[in-house]
């Protein structure tokens, strides 16, 4: 096939990009070379619209072993142990084919982790769907959840936490973000940088097929009416093969055979080989005739661009080929020596004894386009003035019941029940709390992890929203007694060629960077997902933050369930009464305008660190951060989890009770303490300039709210658990 400008455009390249390729090569590329350029220069692989701005992220810290730039980030948790973790998107594939899209998203992120020598110990996910009334939503939700559960359960890694939301903006583009944590000895970490000349390059895992070709390019484009035609670009996963691959790789990693290792994710053999060579400033020669294929007459183009799952590329030390082959044969996996490292600084492809491609590595990596796209700043919306008359016909109890049964607040047990969260035997806090927690096997340490996002806040004011989502992660980790260490991010946005969308990205990133630096909560890995858009309608900006923290002794872990009658409940942090962008405003007042709540980074850090001191001294019985739905929803969830009630004291400040109980002011927590420790705790809070309000006393069953009708714990449970269960059944 003769390559033309039209064919280049069909591959997702711009006219000017194709011209640049021809100029750099000083010739027209052949079809295989064009395919390689299209894969390496697309948004998903090259980060051409985001690279300029990603440099602003705060990535350094005293616990950071490896920051962005590798398959995953690595943090030191002491005693020679390290945690490897990352979050990544699989949005477009999951919308096209929800089961396989979500399943292979889980498989892909787990390979990123065990590629670095770590055994996966926990999975999390952040999934976002369109309006429940949208005709596609229910089937998409069912397929995604089954895909996540099907893959994670089969491979034997617990899913310990997650987040699910519904919003109209996801009607045409759902989001599926998968996160994995792995445990590794910090002296036995493996990297993707190739080294040495004439080192054997080996292919291991499953055979290569035609599934997933152009998957990376598809992920770098918007959708139109022909979505169904893109199904062949969705990969097909096999968790049982992945389990074998995991064990085989870890076995080979136990000696000094491996120089570099890279999973074949987006763009398959193309990206894995080029990234390894580029990092090592080497060349690589591949004989594609030796690649194990499961389909007949596959072309070099197809072999290089296939995204078939459960495959790895490894650079071995010389003489280790037979040793490595024995291991992969034992695990019944394909093994083939398909090439070698060279000093040419080129990728050279041989097929049927002919050279079918030859491209300098730098043209594919370092010379990939970097765009400084125009962007538009988002103005902070004006505060709304809610008339006092609005509240006259309302009571707290009815409002609470409606909010607890709303899609974004309702209990997500139907989802969690499809995930195995106890396999491996180290999960000590299951889904449904502020953060999932797993014990570090054989030690007293525990790792806490959470995933968080807030599209409404980010859409209203991206800078503030970016700050908030990092703070939310910080608070969730602290709420379970963990010291926050580091974060990973998955940045989900619309078309970056749109100035508004690009502005949302830039400002969210600024907020994330400023906050992570102030809180000493660095970004160590991540992913950018642009072009989440259908027919020019994009998603709300949705940066997802995966946070990781350490509990030095797992016995010190805190849960959110109220523990004992007559214990005191405090609200930590000041309540200002900010209702704009709150669940209350949307569900009760039908109001979606206004600014998000302000972020005070000093308060976030000070309050969080003060609570950690109280937890260290075992002065807090239970804790939960105040987020969506405000104090009233936070307290209700603590009641539900503990099967207890609460008698709330009369509000002592001047704001109305709806603003006090349902506002979403930031930097707040609910804590349970004993009466005997009240004086000691309140003194510590005052000494550290931490504001608190005494909310009430824990009771046996009833929720008593001033002059409102009494609610029983059964009322709350029924309201909270009913919606999703009924939605999925009906």
Q: Which residues are catalytic?
A: 44, 90
Residue 502: half-sphere exposure toward Cβ, Cα within 13 Å: 16
Q: What share of the chain is helix, strand, coil (3-state, %, to 5)?
A: 40, 25, 40
Length of the chain as a residue count: 730
> Strands across the sheet with 446-452, in order?
427-429, 436-439, 446-452, 542-551, 483-492, 523-529
Residue 191: half-sphere exposure toward Cβ, Cα within 13 Å: 17
- For residue 687, give the 3-state DSSP assignment: helix
Distance, in Å, from the CA atom of 31 to the CA atom of 668, rounded to the nearest integer, reads 57
Orientation of helix 98-114 relative to helix 137-155, angle to 10° = 40
CA dihedral (407, 411, 416, 417) positive or negative: negative
Please list the residues that pair with 446 across neighbouring strands: 439, 551
CA dihedral (601, 602, 604, 608) positive or negative: positive
**C-alpha distances out from residue 700 to 17, 562, 645, Å:** 68, 10, 5
Report which DSSP code applies to 448.
E
Report which DSSP code applies to 13.
-
Token pair 């993707």 is found at 192
Tokens of 18: 């194709």
Distance, in Å, from the CA atom of 301 to the CA atom of 324, rounded to the nearest integer, reads 28
- For residue 553, give the 3-state DSSP assignment: coil
Distance, in Å, from the CA atom of 724 to the CA atom of 411, rounded to the nearest integer, reads 7
Q: For the beta carbon of residue 277, count every other beta carbon within 10 angstroms.
A: 27
Angle (nearest 5°) at CA 164 between 96 and 115: 70
Token pair 């661009």 is found at 305
Angle (nearest 5°) at CA 511 between 510 and 513: 65
Please list the residues that pair with 64 across neighbouring strands: 75
Query: For the CA atoms of the chain, what is the radius of gyration?
Result: 26
What DSSP assignment string belongs to 302-367?
Answer: HHHH---SSEEEEEEPTT-HHHHHHHHHHTT-EEEEEEEEESS-EEEEEETTEEEEEEEHHHHTTT
């Amino acid at each position: 096939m003769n390559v033309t400008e039209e064919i280049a455009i069909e591959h997702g390249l711009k006219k000017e990009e194709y011209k640049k390729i021809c100029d750099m090569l000083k010739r027209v590329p052949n079809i295989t070379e064009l395919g390689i350029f299209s894969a390496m220069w697309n948004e998903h692989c090259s980060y051409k619209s985001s690279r300029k701005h990603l440099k602003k992220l705060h990535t350094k810290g005293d616990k950071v072993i490896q920051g962005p730039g590798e398959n995953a980030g690595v943090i030191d948790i002491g005693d020679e142990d390290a945690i490897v973790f990352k979050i990544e998107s699989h949005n477009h594939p999951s919308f096209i084919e929800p089961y396989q899209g979500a399943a292979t998203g889980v498989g892909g992120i787990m390979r990123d982790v065990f590629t670095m020598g770590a055994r996966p110990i926990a999975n999390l996910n952040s999934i976002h769907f369109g309006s429940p009334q949208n005709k596609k939503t229910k089937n998409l939700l069912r397929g995604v959840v089954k895909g996540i559960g099907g893959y994670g359960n089969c491979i034997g890694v617990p899913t310990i936490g997650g987040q699910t939301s519904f919003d109209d903006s996801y009607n045409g583009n759902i989001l599926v973000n998968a996160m994995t944590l792995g445990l590794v000895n910090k002296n036995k970490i493996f990297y993707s940088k190739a080294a040495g000349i004439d080192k054997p390059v080996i292919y291991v895992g499953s055979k290569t097929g035609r599934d997933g070709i152009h998957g990376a390019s598809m992920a770098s484009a918007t959708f139109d009416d022909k979505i169904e035609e893109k199904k062949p670009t969705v990969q097909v996963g096999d968790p049982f093969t992945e389990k074998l691959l995991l064990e085989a790789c870890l076995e080979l990693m136990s000696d000094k055979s491996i120089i570099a290792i890279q999973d074949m994710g987006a763009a398959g053999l193309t990206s894995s080989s080029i990234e390894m060579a580029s990092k090592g400033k080497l060349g690589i020669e591949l004989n594609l005739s030796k690649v194990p294929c499961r389909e007949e007459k596959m072309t070099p183009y197809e072999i290089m661009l296939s995204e078939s799952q459960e495959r790895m590329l490894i650079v071995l030390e010389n003489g280790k080929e037979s040793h490595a082959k024995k291991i992969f044969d034992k695990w019944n996996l394909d093994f083939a020596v398909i090439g070698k490292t060279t000093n040419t600084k080129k990728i050279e492809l041989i097929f049927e004894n002919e050279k079918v491609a030859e491209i300098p590595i730098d043209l594919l990596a370092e010379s990939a386009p970097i765009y400084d796209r125009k962007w538009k700043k988002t103005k902070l919306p004006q505060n709304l003035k809610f008339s006092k008359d609005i509240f006259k016909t309302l009571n707290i109890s009815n409002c609470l019941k409606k909010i607890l049964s709303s899609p974004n607040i309702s209990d997500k047990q139907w989802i969690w029940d499809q995930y195995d969260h106890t396999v491996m035997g180290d999960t000590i806090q299951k889904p449904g709390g502020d953060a999932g927690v797993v014990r570090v096997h054989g030690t007293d340490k525990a790792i806490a992890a959470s995933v968080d996002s807030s599209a409404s806040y980010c859409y209203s004011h991206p800078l503030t929203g970016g700050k908030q989502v990092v703070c939310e992660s910080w608070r969730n980790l602290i709420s379970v007694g963990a010291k926050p260490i580091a974060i990973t991010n998955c940045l989900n946005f619309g078309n970056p060629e749109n100035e508004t969308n690009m502005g949302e990205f830039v400002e969210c990133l600024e907020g994330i960077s400023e906050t992570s630096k102030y809180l000493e909560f660095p970004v160590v890995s991540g992913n950018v997902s642009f072009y989440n858009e259908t027919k020019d309608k994009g998603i709300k900006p949705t940066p997802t933050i995966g946070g990781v923290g350490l509990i030095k002794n797992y016995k010190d872990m805190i849960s959110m369930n109220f523990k004992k009658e007559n214990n005191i409940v405090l609200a930590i942090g000041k309540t200002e009464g900010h209702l704009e962008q709150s669940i209350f405003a949307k569900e009760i007042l039908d109001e979606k305008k206004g600014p998000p709540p302000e972020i005070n980074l000093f308060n976030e850090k000070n309050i969080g660190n003060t609570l950690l001191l109280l937890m260290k001294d075992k002065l807090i019985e239970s804790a939960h951060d105040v987020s969506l739905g405000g104090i009233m929803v936070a307290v209700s969830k603590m009641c539900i989890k503990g099967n207890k009630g609460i008698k709330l004291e009369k509000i002592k400040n001047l704001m109305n009770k709806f603003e006090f109980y349902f506002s979403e002011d930031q930097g707040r927590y609910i804590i349970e303490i004993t009466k005997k420790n009240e004086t000691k705790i309140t003194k510590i809070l005052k000494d550290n300039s931490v504001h608190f309000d005494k909310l009430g006393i824990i009771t046996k069953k009833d929720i008593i709210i001033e002059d409102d009708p009494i609610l029983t714990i059964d009322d709350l449970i029924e309201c909270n658990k009913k919606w999703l269960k009924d939605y999925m059944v009906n």
